[in-house]
Structure 1
Amino acid sequence: MGNKIQDNDSINELGKIIKTTKVLNPILKLLNIDSGIDINKITKEYADLLTLNDDFNMYYHDRGWIAHESLNIDVLKFCVSIAKDGNIDRGEEALMEYYEGELKNFEKYSYRKHFYDRHELLNLAIEDYFSGRYHASIPIALLSADGIINDVEPTGLFAKETDLEVWDSISGHGSGLKSLVSLLSKNRKKTSTDSISLPYRNGILHGRDINYYNKFVAIKSFALLIYLADWIRERSSEADRMRKKEEKETKTWGELFKSIANTTREQKENEKLLKEWKPRFFEVIPSTYESNSPEEKVFEFLECIKNKNYGTPTSMYPTFILGNSSRKSKARILRENFKDITITNYEISKINDSSAAVTMITMKIAYEYNGLLKEKNVDFRVMYEVNGEVNNRLKLNGSWKITNIEGISYILIE
């Protein structure tokens, strides 16, 4: 792995593609072939983004922040820009505001079992945070981070032997999570009443940093959990990404250029569709659904579970969850999760088109569990996929997937 994130294979690959395109574009113009590629624009965007993650880590790492895959690009750009102007404090304010927004929508991380197993405890910790009870929220966030990695690796997050580097990753780069954990694992051998601004794990959990409970330490502790969500995804997809890289290396120049042209066309189409898409607003919540809508997918899922059909819903798993697992394996998981749940009725309570690719649907579900009749409101996060990639719902030939499909049964039985 390179010393900088800009040395990552995917970033280098993009640079090679741009250089290749610069060579091929003049030749194509001579042949009156329009590639549709604005090479000057792409080159400038690449140059602007090339060092962005490394610059962010350089400015903010020692303050407890790192670049990671899901960090909003506009926030990333703003924080780097303002740090270059010498105002890192303002950048920290922006980061605190951003991660507070992520905390308010923390349920989107609950589709992962490691997070869902702890969702009740984490929700209490988040409630404590927004109530100013930092003394209670910080230890829970740190303990959860340690336990989540312990579920993935044989050792915990802060153990020296835990390997946190992931190939071709931002969060898994040596300057990312690995380096940050090393900073937060710093020995705190003396009891101190001085206020701190970093969530020193040992000092806080071993009772040495007594004056730890402030907003800075709290939000950085929760940000650590969000870094872990990206890191787990990167780690689980590492082998598949390496395989795809090997496939790319066998491409001819012609195939490479065709891939570039297709990517450019898709980007222009996506920009056009994003301008066309508008969220739906319902004065009255519908009792039925439109064809190929997110509501249809949720109704289909619940009807299958109601009828003890565990095979059909396997197609509703998003690609990034159990993507390499067989239909039989997914059906076995669903059967195990729902075998003791008998759904009797369901209806829509709320629909929110949160983005062009995602809709949040709240369903009121009546069911029987352990001989008891129950009723609960359950949130479904439904995402639109085209060829295994998240995409605008206006794009043709896609299908809706339920991103928190693994967590639905846990909500019903709790």
Structure 2
Amino acid sequence: MTKNAARGRGEADPPPVSGYPSAYDIPKFKKMAAELAGLKLLLSLSPKMRGQMKELEAELERIVGTVERFYQVLGERHWVFHDNLRLDPLVQAVSTGDADTAEAALIAQYRDEDRMRWVLLRTKRVSALRPRADLIDGAWRDYQEGRYYSVVLVLLSVMDGFVNDVGQQRRGLHTRDGEELVAWDSVTAHHQGLAATQASFTKSFKKTSAEPVFELYRNGIVHGNLTNFDNLVVASKAWNRLFALVDWLHALEEAARPEPPSPSWTDTLKKLADNAQQHKAMDKWVPRAASVAADGVEAVLSEPVVQAATAMLEAWKTRNYGKLAPFLHEFTKAKSRGAFIGDIRKRFEVSPLDDYEVIRVEMRGPGLAHVWVSLTVAGEAKESELRWLHVDEDQHVRIETDSRGAWQTVQTDPLAIIGRAWQ
């Protein structure tokens, strides 16, 4: 293998020091545009494909154009576009060119309880954030209940510790230069993105001020010089910055990987079409719920996630650990299937399940569901809330209608299932 072949993608194609000049310059968007142009040329003689090509071009422009307009409108207010944002609510908001309108639409996404549960679950899966999961949950409760000062202080500490644990440098976010936050091929790496926020984040304040602030001034807030930051805007910016940092970490990891073989034009067309279809399906998705008491047993059992939950509980009850294994969403697994099943046996055989009954289900996200059940363990009945993700074989969360996904519970031992309620 040559030296160049061993280099990571970020090293082979490093981003500009100050970030990408526009969203159109971000590599994944440039690559998609180039692939579309090539496909358009190849398929120019195929009238059947012209309509599909126009749809793909329009969808690409909708995505990239919205990211670019987002930064044009909100970049000076130090909001960062990240991958967990819903696109549709922002398309119209940023197209107005009015910063207040766009900011209100953005904050509304952080106030959406169903959406945030989905995003927080994915966020806490990041290895460097798992030790901080309780702090994140606490900040979310405070955000819902209007204790914005607490949200800001807690998330600032979470971000500092999180960034400190990334890589080998052992330096918190407040010690980082903006250039260090420019990650290859990330929407956060726009020149008005994450790197640009560091100037205000680390700005020093020597005098105490009680004037209202609406920026995430980390130094002024933590050192007690700015006392009037207890508001929805600053708290929402704290969530925005945390999710942007998660994207930054993912981009660093992707940048370190070698460039994969170039896909064929057919594979590219399928991927573009699939991405467009996924975006549309997720934007159209709406939450729903059903309970045995109100809607009947059939309504509840008709939900695929309930069918998965029933199969999982039946396997636990009958002590069939081989059938139980596929329903457990493990971050890391044993080297072999046999070892994995043996590990599951050790966890579950000490708490045999006598009986179970499904009570209700809530579909809280495109690939996120909660199923309430009554479990009888050691003769004692307890109600439990099982949390489920719809994931593919690579552990990527998929919309519930995607055939590549399967339902798995994130509670992978009896203690988590019986003794720990969702917060």
| Amino acid paired to 1:383 | H
Query: Matched residue of 1:93: which SS?
Result: helix
Q: Identify the residue that residue 269 of structure 2 maps to in structure 1.
A: 260
Residues 277, 394 of structure 1: 8 Å contact kept: no
The alpha-carbon deviation at position 219 of structure 1 amounts to 2.1
Q: Which of the residues 331, 341, 358 maps onto 1:348?
A: 358
d(CA) in 1 for partners of 2:247 and 2:157? 18
Per chain length, whose mean CA-contact separation is higher, i.e. which structure has more relative contact order (CA < 8 Å, sep 6+)? 2
1:362 aligns with 2:372: yes
1:184 aligns with 2:201: yes
| Amino acid paired to 1:133 | R
Q: Which of the residues 58, 68, 78 maps onto 1:54?
A: 68
Residues 368, 389 of structure 2: 8 Å contact kept: yes
Residues 287, 362 of structure 2: 8 Å contact kept: no
Deviations 1:16-55 (A, max 9, x none): 11111221122345xxxx4475323333443343343233
d(CA) in 1 for partners of 2:24 and 2:320? 47
Deviations 1:326-363 (A, max 9, x none): 55699399659947962535432321234564433233
| Amino acid paired to 2:101 | R
Q: Identify the residue that residue 100 of structure 1 maps to in structure 2.
A: 111
Deviates more, 1:93-102 or 1:167-176: 167-176
Q: Identify the residue that residue 40 of structure 2 maps to in structure 1.
A: 22
Q: Give structure 1 stretches of 5+ with no counterpart.
A: none
Residues 156, 218 of structure 2: 8 Å contact kept: yes
| Amino acid paired to 1:27 | L
Query: Matched residue of 2:173: which SS?
Result: coil
How has the CA–CA distance of structure 1 residues 72 and 302 changed in structure 2, closer, same or farther, with 3 Å as cutoff? same
1:212 aligns with 2:229: yes
d(CA) in 2 for partners of 1:99 and 1:330? 41
Deviates more, 1:271-280 or 1:201-210: 271-280
| Amino acid paired to 2:238 | S
The alpha-carbon deviation at position 367 of structure 1 amounts to 4.9
How has the CA–CA distance of structure 1 residues 105 and 28 changed in structure 2, closer, same or farther, with 3 Å as cutoff? closer
Q: Identify the residue that residue 202 of structure 1 maps to in structure 2.
A: 219
The alpha-carbon deviation at position 61 of structure 1 amounts to 2.8
Residues 374, 384 of structure 2: 8 Å contact kept: yes
The alpha-carbon deviation at position 15 of structure 1 amounts to 0.7
Deviations 1:123-153 (A, max 9, x none): 4433333433333332112212222333444
Q: Identify the residue that residue 24 of structure 2 maps to in structure 1.
A: 6
How has the CA–CA distance of structure 1 residues 272 and 145 changed in structure 2, closer, same or farther, with 3 Å as cutoff? closer
The alpha-carbon deviation at position 220 of structure 1 amounts to 1.6
Residues 314, 330 of structure 1: 8 Å contact kept: no
d(CA) in 2 for partners of 1:231 and 1:376? 39
Residues 270, 392 of structure 1: 8 Å contact kept: no
d(CA) in 1 for partners of 2:149 and 2:269? 52
Q: Identify the residue that residue 390 of structure 2 maps to in structure 1.
A: 383
| Amino acid paired to 1:38 | Q
How has the CA–CA distance of structure 1 residues 117 and 298 changed in structure 2, closer, same or farther, with 3 Å as cutoff? farther
CA RMSD of aligned residues (A): 4.4
Please give the TM-score of this superposition, normalised by the length of structure 2. Answer: 0.73
d(CA) in 2 for partners of 1:337 and 1:220? 44
Please give the TM-score of this superposition, normalised by the length of structure 1. Answer: 0.75
The alpha-carbon deviation at position 213 of structure 1 amounts to 1.7
Residues 358, 384 of structure 1: 8 Å contact kept: no
d(CA) in 2 for partners of 1:62 and 1:329? 55
Residues 386, 411 of structure 2: 8 Å contact kept: no
The alpha-carbon deviation at position 408 of structure 1 amounts to 8.2
Q: Identify the residue that residue 42 of structure 1 maps to in structure 2.
A: 56
| Amino acid paired to 1:226 | F
1:156 aligns with 2:172: yes
d(CA) in 1 for partners of 2:345 and 2:25? 44
| Amino acid paired to 1:223 | N
d(CA) in 1 for partners of 2:305 and 2:53? 37
Residues 384, 401 of structure 1: 8 Å contact kept: yes
Q: Which of the residues 117, 120, 137 maps onto 1:109?
A: 120
Identity of aligned residues (%): 20
How has the CA–CA distance of structure 1 residues 410 and 263 changed in structure 2, closer, same or farther, with 3 Å as cutoff? same
Deviates more, 1:71-80 or 1:12-21: 71-80
| Amino acid paired to 2:358 | I
d(CA) in 1 for partners of 2:350 and 2:24? 49
